[in-house]
Amino acid sequence: MITSSRRMLRLPSRRLLLIPALLVVAVVLTGLYVAGMPWAVTALDAFWEGVDHLGRYTELLWAVTTLSWVGVAWLFLRLHRLTQWNQLVLAALKAATDETEVIRTLGRSVLADLAHTRGIPRKDRAWASSMLAALTPPDHHDTAGPQEQQ
């Protein structure tokens, strides 16, 4: 991807602060519980009592656990597929810039196939298409210049 030489100023994401904020809240509540603050002791005792009552619904807990494992497996498979796609694109780009014409042609054809792969983000496919357009030589049969064609 072609990027500007200037660095873009990025605003901090609110999502990045969510996990540290939750950890701080948990640590503070635990500290207040240990210190014996009455409202913190009541709140945390009620919370853990509710968690204990969930133990009666083992079928529900097994279903939630199974769905969470399926979700994690799906995310890992998606990440693996994107990683393989990136490696294939790099190999195709290397082949498309090789010294041998046959290897360059094969590299461009593989890059064209990868630019139309389903399941890959649109921006990445557009980037692969633009790289293919940049690496494809102009048509030799077209002898007229750009101004003569108009």
Cα–Cα nearest to 89, from 67, 72, 62, 110:
110
Q: Which amino acid is at 2?
A: I
- Indicate the range of 11-15, 38-42, 97-101 predicted with least confidence: 11-15
Domain boundaries, the chain: 16-56, 58-136
pLDDT tens track for 34-86? 999 999 999 989 988 988 888 888 888 899 999 999 999 999 999 999 899 88
More confident residue, 10 or 74: 74
Q: How confident is the model at residue 1 (pLDDT cuts 50, 70, 90)?
A: very low
More confident residue, 7 or 38: 38
CB 57 within 8 A of CB 76: no
